[in-house]
Amino acid sequence: MDRRGEILVSNAPQFELVVIPSEMRHRAETIKMLSPILDETVEHLTKKIAQAAPHAPLVLQRDLKLKTLAQATELSEKRSGVQVRAGAIRRFKYGKMGAHLLGYVNEINSVELRTRRHLGYAMGDPIGKSGLEKQYDEILRGQKGAEQVHIDVLGRTVSQYELRPPTPGPDLYLNLDAQLQLTAEKALGETLAMLEKQNGERSGGTVVVMDVKSGAVRALASLPQYDPRPFARGIKTKEYAALLNDPGFPLVNRMIHSAFSPGSTFKLITATAALQAGLATPTSHFYCGGSFGPANCFVRSGHGGISFDDSMAHSCDVVFYKLGFEMGIRHLRKYCALYGLGTPTGIDLPNETGGLLPSPEWKQEVWEDRWYDGDTINMSIGQGFLLV
């Protein structure tokens, strides 16, 4: 739920097609019959079933549409080891909205199972694959129920006992504001469309809206994005391949998985470091002639005489070139670290990158070259090797 209690993702009833590999008497023929129903290749289904646990139910497709449900039900009556059963699936109220943030669940794979079997996971269980679904999976999943079934030699149920009823997981309340998230995604989408029209190239971008007092994230938009609904029901091979091959990289959450040059927003850090070093005061004045050595200001003619306050207000590059050059990389890096650059923020989303806070040692190791004054000057305006 969002901060106002609006439900964003919920469970809903659905029908799913399941096979039990050990009970498929004519497996090859059955797979050939399943292929057109599921719109999957015989090779893909054969491999998937062969790799599954032989006696455990394997979900081949969730959220069956009416036509597929009818075909699957008919096949289950003719072929052993094929079943149609009721289950639950995630429903996304706003479709794609917040896909990178919310994430999705899908069936656990063999690699995940090896590290989670001791937590009660079993083959066929749904598990959070990305976003908040992954981050809070162990909490959201609740507790599975258990029953004991006795069958005779013909496979008929003789008796059935419920050993433990299932326990649903708790609700997850977010700092996210759904309406603000929708607004952020709409504005970002319109901006990217305008840039694509101007430049003829598709690009991506992010928007983050935070509460300045608490740090709560009210919106986190990353575009292009993907639709989580196919993942929830079991995405088809060709659908997944299309996402992987998309040049816009819709599966990447640019806000936490990508790193960018901070640009002029970084000048606040340079200003802090300069004030602490005594290189500037709030009443200091500087002169911008349009360049500092080979480095130019974005105003080529220069800002002329300019106060320290106005140098930030007008984003004068030359003032910050001078300050960065005078303080040096060691002092500048010290205040970068104090601001948290180069380390993850700790947001409760998986696989956050920490960016890159470069140093002379890093450059020597990676680039096999020494650190130049030009590197410091570049970094003082948020450019160069620095990534956040």
Find which of 9-18, 49-58, 151-160 is predicted with most confidence, using mean pLDDT: 9-18
Measured over all CA atoms, what is the biggest interatomic distance in the chain, rounded to whole angstroms? Answer: 95
**Which residues sit opposite 223 in a β-bridge?**
205
- Using DSSP's 3-state secondary structure scheme, residue 10 falls into strand
| Amino acid making up residue 312 | M
Indicate whether 125 pLDDT > 70: yes
d(Cα 260, Cα 255) in Å, to the nearest integer? 9
241 class by beta-carbon count within 10 Å (0-12 exposed, 13-18 middle, 19+ buried): exposed
Percentage, residues of the chain above pLDDT 90: 69
Structural domain spans, the chain: 178-245, 264-380
| pLDDT (0 to 100) of residue 155 | 58
Task: Summarize pLDDT for 350-372 with one digit per residue, the tens.
Answer: 999 999 999 999 999 999 999 99
For residue 208, give every residue at least 6 positions away whose Cβ sits within 8 Å of its Cβ, in sequence order, or none.
217, 219, 220, 221, 255
User: Minimal CA–CA distance to 381: which of 242, 302, 266, 286?
Assistant: 266
| pLDDT (0 to 100) of residue 157 | 66
What band does 326 get if pLDDT is binned at 50, 70 and 90? very high
Least confident of 8-17, 67-76, 109-118, 252-261: 109-118
User: Minimal CA–CA distance to 132: which of 9, 7, 5?
Assistant: 9
Indicate whether 386 pLDDT > 70: yes
Structure-token pair, residue 82: 């094929």
Structure-token pair, residue 109: 């794979």
d(Cα 157, Cα 112) in Å, to the nearest integer? 33
105 class by beta-carbon count within 10 Å (0-12 exposed, 13-18 middle, 19+ buried): buried
Indicate whether 149 pLDDT > 80: no
Place of tokens 């009443």: 283
Burial 132-169 (b: 16+ CB within 10 A, else e): bbbbbbeebbeeeeeeeeeeeeeeeeeeeeeeeeeeee
| pLDDT (0 to 100) of residue 156 | 63
What band does 118 get if pLDDT is binned at 50, 70 and 90? confident
Mean per-residue pLDDT, 246-266: 93
Indicate whether 274 pLDDT > 90: yes
Q: Is the full-model pTM beyond 0.85?
A: no
Mean per-residue pLDDT, 368-386: 96
Structure-token pair, residue 215: 């740090």
Are 189 and 19 in contact by the 8 Å Cβ rule? The answer is no
Indicate whether 269 pLDDT > 80: yes
Residues in the chain: 388
Structure-token pair, residue 11: 């469970």
Place of tokens 């319109």: 190
Structure-token pair, residue 227: 């639709």
d(Cα 37, Cα 71) in Å, to the nearest integer? 7
CATH fold, domain 264-380, is: Beta-lactamase (3.40.710)
Radius of gyration of the chain (CA): 28
**DSSP of 117-175, one letter per residue?**
GGGT--TT-EEE-SHHHHHTHHHHT-B--EEEEEE-TTS-EEEEEEEE--BPPPP---S
Task: Summarize pLDDT for 129-139 with one digit per residue, the tens.
Answer: 999 999 999 88
d(Cα 209, Cα 182) in Å, to the nearest integer? 12
User: Minimal CA–CA distance to 337: which of 312, 321, 355, 316?
Assistant: 355
How much is the mean pLDDT over the chain?
91
- Residue 257: other Cβ atoms inside 10 A: 16
Mean per-residue pLDDT, 330-337: 97
| pLDDT (0 to 100) of residue 368 | 96
Indicate whether 85 pLDDT > 70: yes
What band does 281 get if pLDDT is binned at 50, 70 and 90? very high
| Alpha helices (H) along the chain | 27-38, 42-51, 66-78, 99-102, 110-116, 131-135, 137-140, 178-199, 228-233, 237-244, 254-257, 267-277, 308-313, 317-338, 360-367, 373-379
Indicate whether 376 pLDDT > 90: yes
Mean per-residue pLDDT, 93-109: 92
| pLDDT (0 to 100) of residue 337 | 96
| pLDDT (0 to 100) of residue 361 | 97
Least confident of 44-48, 110-114, 154-158: 154-158
For residue 183, give every residue at least 6 positions away whose Cβ sits within 8 Å of its Cβ, in sequence order, or none.
219
- Using DSSP's 3-state secondary structure scheme, residue 370 falls into coil
Kindly report the backbone phi and psi dihedral angles of residue 161, in degrees, each rounded to the nearest multiple of 5, phi listed first.
-130, 135
d(Cα 10, Cα 105) in Å, to the nearest integer? 12
Task: Summarize pLDDT for 235-247 with one digit per residue, the tens.
Answer: 888 899 999 999 9
